[in-house]
């Protein structure tokens, strides 16, 4: 695995609607491995990996390019900045954080925090839109470098080592990394299916990009690659831990918006067992992925989700394990290689 690529994906900004730099990284890594490439009106990147095989099944594998983040919404007269959140951000995680504002140049800033010895402990949590972002720059310099609409991300760099990854944006840069690494392997194989991959946009804003991909690809099968919630922490009951680190990829049975295709899931399980790839099943009624859109738009498809477990999702510093990433790539490669043997019985 090219772990420097994973670091590049995580450290590059790309909030919903501003995924262009991430798209360039994807293109640089797999464009020359694919038969065709298309960018649709919304900015989804769709790659046809192998030459079309008549009467063979079509499988679509997707990972979204966007990360949760913020947009500059207002610049006060004194140079202080207001923002809006893009995606699910817990206000408790926002207060006092370091941020990077990606304006005409990258400007570091902080979410203003009241010193504890003068704060009112009974104060309610301040919502993201009401917080003040302080660059420490003079107002004229703020206006020189920063405009309304500039994207903002958490100011944390990806750290890889000790069999773990510590980074912002693992949702879903880790899924995007799995997709790229799998394409590198599968592009060299003689496949018995039509293999298409998409690097989609604006998932964090309601699966917006994925909603128009199915009509173009018309897949028989679809898999959304994700970084999924792992809550395997001390004090958390096992039934609330969801996916656990070190136990392999999650095969999702359900979430708030999806009931995955059970026959496809069983097919994937059988492959994992045969190849001795660890995996875990989760059934929950929270969260959602592009798999929902792939299942019910266009002509629909047999859809599921394959995920790398990640602690502290949508925070400045999430954690996942390298061996879980490796096992997710291995399982995905086996699925695509054998999808032509799927029997709908």
- The answer to whether 76 is a known catalytic residue is no
SS3 annotation, the chain: CCHHHHHHHHHCCCCCCCCHHHHHHHHHHHHHHCCEEEECCCCCEEEECCCCCCCCCEEEEEEECCCCEEEEEEECCCCCEEEEEECCCCHHHHCCCEEEEECCCEEEEEECCCCCCCCCCCCCCCCHHHCCEECCCCHHHHHHHCCCCCEEEECCCCEEECCEEEECCHHHHHHHHHHHHHHHHHCCCCCCCEEEEEEECCHHHCCCCHHHCHHHHCCCEEEEEEEEEECCCCCCCHHHCEECCCCCCEEEEECCCCECCHHHHHHHHHHHHHHCCCCEEEECCCCCCHHHHHHHCCCCCEEEEEEEEEECCCCCCEEEEHHHHHHHHHHHHHHHHHHHHCCCC
122: CB partners within 8 A, 6+ apart = none
User: Residue 93, Cβ neighbours under 10 Å: how many?
Assistant: 16
Contact 62, 225 (CB under 8 A): yes
**Residue from 19, 67, 181, 203 carrying the catalytic annotation:** 203
Catalytic positions: 203
């Amino acid at each position: 695995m090219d772990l420097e690529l994973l670091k590049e994906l995580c450290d590059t900004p790309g909030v919903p609607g501003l995924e262009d730099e991430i798209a360039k990284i994807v293109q640089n890594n797999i464009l020359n491995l694919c038969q065709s490439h298309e960018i649709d009106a919304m900015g989804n990147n769709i790659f046809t990996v192998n030459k079309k095989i008549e009467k063979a099944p079509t499988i679509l594998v997707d990972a979204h390019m966007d990360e949760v983040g913020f947009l500059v919404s207002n610049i006060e007269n004194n140079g202080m900045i207001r923002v809006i959140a893009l995606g699910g951000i817990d206000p408790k995680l926002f207060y006092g954080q370091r941020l990077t504002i990606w304006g005409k140049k990258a400007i570091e800033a902080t979410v203003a925090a009241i010193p504890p010895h003068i704060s009112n402990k009974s104060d309610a949590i301040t919502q993201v839109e009401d917080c003040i972002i302080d660059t420490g720059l003079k107002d004229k310099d703020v206006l020189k470098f920063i405009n309304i609409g500039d994207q903002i991300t958490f100011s944390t760099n990806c750290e890889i080592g000790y069999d773990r990854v510590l980074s912002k944006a693992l949702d879903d840069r880790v899924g995007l990394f799995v997709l790229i690494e799998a394409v590198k392997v599968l592009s060299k194989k003689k496949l018995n299916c039509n293999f298409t991959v998409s690097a989609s946009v604006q998932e964090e804003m309601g699966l917006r990009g994925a909603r128009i991909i199915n009509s173009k690809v018309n897949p028989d099968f679809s898999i959304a690659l994700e970084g999924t919630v792992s809550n395997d922490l001390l004090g958390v009951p096992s039934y609330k831990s969801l996916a656990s680190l070190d136990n392999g990829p999650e095969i999702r049975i359900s979430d708030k918006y999806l009931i995955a295709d059970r026959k496809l899931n069983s097919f994937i399980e059988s492959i994992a067992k045969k190849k001795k790839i660890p995996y875990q099943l989760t059934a929950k009624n929270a969260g959602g992925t592009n798999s929902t859109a792939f299942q019910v738009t266009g002509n629909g498809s047999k859809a599921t989700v394959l995920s790398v477990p990640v602690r502290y999702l949508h925070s400045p510093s999430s954690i996942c394990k390298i061996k879980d990433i490796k096992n997710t790539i291995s399982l995905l490669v086996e699925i695509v290689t054998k999808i032509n043997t799927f029997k709908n019985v």
